[in-house]
Amino acid sequence: MGERTGGDGFAVNPTLIAHCRGGFEPECGADLARIAMRAGATLVPETVQGRAVVVASTAHFDPRRWAAALAADPAVFARSIFVGSGPHALSKRDRVAPLLASARAFGPPFQSLWLETTDTNEGKRLSGLCKRLEPLLAHAASNAGLLTPGDARRPRLHVLFTEVQTAYVGSSDAGSASAWPMGIPRLKMPRDAPSRSILKLVEALVTFLPDAECLQALRPGMRAVDLGAAPGGWTWELARRGLRVTAVDNGPLKGEIARDPLVGHLRVDGFNYWPRRPVEWMVCDIVDKPSRVATLVAAWIADGACRRCIFNLKLPMKKRYDEVQRCAAMIRDTLDLRRLRYTLRLKQLYHDREEVTGYCARTS
């Protein structure tokens, strides 16, 4: 079951495997196609609705150019991507040996082993198999010299089970890939938080900001504005970190956050509010047309009302991928016109539903 390899030891024309939210397979496939074009590769994605994974065959694939393209233009709808092969048919009698044979084509030794399933009901039924198999596979991989735990410079080894006897095998670069198996962070819901929307903000912070930068960017005493704040989940998280927050929403805040001394609540429309002086952060989870939110974000950043922004774009329309690209272009056009230096990232997070989350920050 070994793969034919090129001069760099990497599989020739491998398969790309990407986890995504179920129902967003076409958008995930468009992500892969965009990145492949930048990398000079040809790609044919298979997008099965509800499968929560996209598999794409490739041609003219160069792993270094792919890694550079992925780092320069990250995926929006793909949670986690690895370069691999498959599907591999496995025997119940011996799954380990053929999996290791396939892994040799993808740049061992590996720093870690991730056994994964799809984020579906069928995937949940396979999680028990992964738990039983993982220690056996890790032990065999270590004995074969394919696994060197702790070496962060090495790629990760992925084994994705789609059925009991069917798996994809491959690797991802820790520098540009998701930090979590299947692209799913394990976050705990704080007991006192007023809403589960807090998890979207927390996931956005750990996704867009490295730990050291996050500590610098969210220091106690900084000022923030939360547009569309009610019932107060994002305000709660910012205040918990010691920021002074202006919560803007016609609706009420719920629970202890309504009485927090770090929080001031203004009952006005978020689209009509403007701070008297610049703040470090603006966050926005307003339910409205994505283009309207994008225009608002661009104005706050361009005019210096805030330095950093995390926002959600709600996507109820059919052409979701095109709308995200249009909104990104609107923000870039506004900031480029001002000749500003900035960072802009968009990502459909695990805790997002019919939406994507964005991060925009001035860097000059």
pLDDT of residue 193: 85
149-165 pLDDT per residue, tens:
888 889 999 999 999 99
pLDDT of residue 153: 84
How far, in Å, CA of 203 to CA of 350, rounded? 8
pLDDT of residue 210: 85
pLDDT of 37 strictly over 90: yes
CATH architecture, domain 15-183: 2-Layer Sandwich (3.30)
| CATH superfamily of this structure's domain 198-362 | Vaccinia Virus protein VP39 (3.40.50.150)
- The angle formed by the CA atoms of residues 185, 186 and 189, to the nearest 5 degrees, is 120
Which residue stretches of the chain are H helix? Answer: 25-38, 63-72, 96-103, 121-143, 198-208, 211-217, 233-240, 290-302, 320-337
Which of 113-117, 174-178, 197-201, 280-284 has the weakest average pLDDT?
174-178
pTM: 0.92
pLDDT of residue 364: 78
How far, in Å, CA of 314 to CA of 357, rounded? 9
The CATH 3.40.50.150 domain(s) of the chain lie at 198-362
220-265 pLDDT per residue, tens:
999 999 999 999 999 999 999 999 999 999 999 999 999 999 999 9
pLDDT of 342 strictly over 70: yes
pLDDT of 277 strictly over 80: yes
DSSP per position, 106-150: B-SSBSEEEEEE-SSHHHHHHHHHHHHHHHHHHHHHHHTT-B-TT
Q: Look at residue 327 and give its three-state secondary structure.
A: helix
pLDDT of 7 strictly over 50: no
One-letter amino acid identity for 122? E
One-letter amino acid identity for 173? D
Provide the annotated active-site residues.
Answer: 314
How far, in Å, CA of 54 to CA of 34, rounded? 14
Q: What is the average per-residue pLDDT within 73-80?
A: 95
Share of the chain above pLDDT 70, in %: 97
15-20/78-89 β-pairing: antiparallel
pLDDT of residue 2: 39
pLDDT of residue 1: 37
165-218 pLDDT per residue, tens:
999 999 998 877 898 999 999 999 888 888 889 999 999 999 999 888 888 999
Q: What is the average per-residue pLDDT within 36-57?
A: 94
The CATH 3.30.2300.20 domain(s) of the chain lie at 15-183
**Cβ–Cβ contacts within 10 Å for residue 203, how many?**
20
290-312 pLDDT per residue, tens:
999 999 999 999 999 999 999 99
Q: What is the average per-residue pLDDT within 105-134?
A: 94
The residues pairing with 358 across neighbouring beta strands, listed in sequence order, are 311, 346
pLDDT of residue 198: 93
pLDDT of residue 176: 77
Query: Could you tell me which of 11, 53, 4 has the C-alpha nearest to residue 32?
Result: 53
Q: What is the average per-residue pLDDT within 138-157?
A: 91
* Widest pairwise Cα distance in the chain: 69
User: How far does Cα 165 stand from its chain's mean position?
Assistant: 29
pLDDT of 142 strictly over 60: yes
| Residue whose entry in the numeric block shows the structure tokens 């802009």 | 344
Mean of per-residue pLDDT scores for the chain = 93
